[in-house]
Amino acid sequence: MTRRRRLDLSSALARGEFVPYFQPLVDLRTGQLRGCEVLARWVHPTKGLVLPDDFIPFSEETGLIGALCESVLSQAFKTCAELGAPFTLSVNISPIQFRDCSLPERISRLAEEHQFPLGQLKIEITESALLENLVDAQCIAAKLKLLGMKLSLDDFGTGYSSLAHLQALPFDELKIDKSFVSSMCCRRESMKIVAAVVGLGRSLGLTTVGEGVEEVAQADMLRHLGCEVGQGWLYGRPMPKEALTAMLGVERPALSGLVGTSSEPD
């Protein structure tokens, strides 16, 4: 079964069935586009659109994650080049990849191929990337930063949240997990946690991003608490290249009208 699934995944990879979707990150104050997060999708010939939770863990187990990520990233760079105005791209890097000391060079070579400026690339990792071998992780992070890339701590507040992680790596950004954002308007505790995390991020000089913003009230509260950037269905769902192109064509330069952009079903 495992061999069969591995074969399925590697042949899907060879056929180019893994593609990048793009989700906007928006300045909570001005409504302007700050960049996009690249989220992998499997365009399956019979199952339709398959979400990462159904293929990332398996591709990590089978060692295909590196190739998958590079294929998706390379397509994302290509799209940016085609659009002519490269904006900041945030890309998720698995803890497995974050053990490989050649990662920074591999990413930088890929970006060079597509003339994508590394200063506009943000690497998102979760805290689990720091648990196994902190020394390697620190070395990789230092190389990424030296090459000009930014570093973001994803899903903050879940899992192994430890304040020590915030000082172990030179992060530029803190993403507050959507579980807090989605409950912050109805649970006082969640709101207080978000307020504390935003305060912590700001005092450390990090950009704070609220993930999973679905309602105007959540965006208003995040803004009120001093959070700078929002990401969520309110501003736009993850969308394929064609929808991104259309959105940029219509909405440039102010993307405050992104509200309601819908390209992925519930």
Q: Binding residues for ligand C2E, per CB under 6 A? A: 23, 39-40, 51-53, 56, 69, 72, 92-94, 124, 154-155, 178, 211-214, 231-233, 238
Q: Amino acid identity of 117?
A: P
231 DSSP β-pair partners: 211
Give the list of residues 6+ apart from residue 86 with CB closer than 8 angstroms, or none: 80, 116, 117, 120
Give the list of residues 6+ apart from residue 189 with CB closer than 8 angstroms, or none: none
List the single partner that 108 binds among ligand C2E, Mg ion, none, CB under 5 to 8 Å by kind: none
x-or-dash string of contact with Mg ion, 139-168, rule CB under 5 A: ---------------xx-------------
Task: Classify residue 29 by its DSSP letter.
Answer: T
Torsions phi, psi of 219, nearest 5?
Answer: -60, -45
Query: Cβ 213 to ligand C2E, closest distance in Å?
Result: 6
Query: Cβ 50 to ligand C2E, closest distance in Å?
Result: 10
Count of positions on this chain that bind Mg ion (CB under 5 A): 5
List the single partner that 31 binds among Mg ion, ligand C2E, none, CB under 5 to 8 Å by kind: none
DSSP-derived 3-state class of residue 207? strand
Give the list of residues 6+ apart from residue 2 with CB closer than 8 angstroms, or none: 62
Query: Cβ 220 to Mg ion, closest distance in Å?
Result: 21
Nearer to Mg ion, 127 or 211 (CB): 211
Interaction site with Mg ion (CB under 5 A): 92, 124, 154-155, 211
